[in-house]
Amino acid sequence: MAARRRARARSGAVAAAVRGFLGALPLPAAERRRRDLDLAGTPARVAEAWLGDLLDGYGEDPAAILAGAMPAGGRDLVAVTGIDFHSVCPHHLLPSRGLAHVAYVPGRAVVGFGQIARLVDCFAHRLILEEELARRVAEALVRHLGARGAAVVLDAEQACLTVRGERRRHARAHAQCFLGAMERDGKLQRRFLALVGSNGVRPPLPGPGRGEGRGEGRRSR
């Protein structure tokens, strides 16, 4: 019951903030009265979307997601490519969407492919930069799964770059992170990047990459 009360209070606070935001916008009075816009219901809808879909990653624990690990039957590369994701830029609160490609070299354990997708969402559904997203997914695989190496390549369309500022609507932003064996072993990197390329994504150049990112366009703050 206490958790439900806190959730209702949080939703009400977000809705109130959205109501104030809408009130501060320079909308003509006629626009505010249009029945088809239904602005009166917008604050509650926005609160539900942000708390339930865009920032629900704060309620997820990466260690718990990876807790259902199984003994590894081998030590070869494990990769999941083409994981669609969405996130929100903390600088302008604008969305990004794209594909995540994740690989790891098992230590003593492996997890189901679905848990890798859930791990991406756990961090993507927060206020987070693309570079940080790549790093945190890779670090979670090393820390919580005991992977001997991990790699993440992200390819996304950033609304911060496509609808504001430079407004380069065809630009894609790329970030990558290589840790452990995936950082040291060029052969493993090439095998992984070949899989990334098979998804129709031009893979970034291999190389050391603890949180290293490659982007098209500069980041505006």
Task: Give the helix/strand (H/E) hosting 95.
Answer: strand 95-105
Dihedral (CA of 45, 51, 52, 54) sign: positive
pLDDT digits (tens, 9 = 90+) for 66-102: 998 999 888 899 999 999 999 999 999 999 999 999 9
Q: Please check whether residue 172 is in contact with residue 136, taking contact to mean a CB–CB distance below 8 angstroms.
A: no
Distance between CA atoms of residues 212 and 214, nearest Å: 7
Tell the CATH topology of 61-215: GTP Cyclohydrolase I, domain 2 (3.30.1130)
DSSP per residue, 173-206: EEEEEEEEHHHH-HHHHHHHHHHHHTTT--PPPP
**pLDDT value, residue 203:** 53
CA 17 to chain CA centroid, Å, is: 25
Asked if residue 181 lies in contact with residue 149, where contact means CB atoms within 8 angstroms, the answer is yes
Domain boundaries, the chain: 2-54, 61-215
46-55 pLDDT, tens digit per residue, is: 999 999 999 9
Q: What is the mean pLDDT of the chain?
A: 88
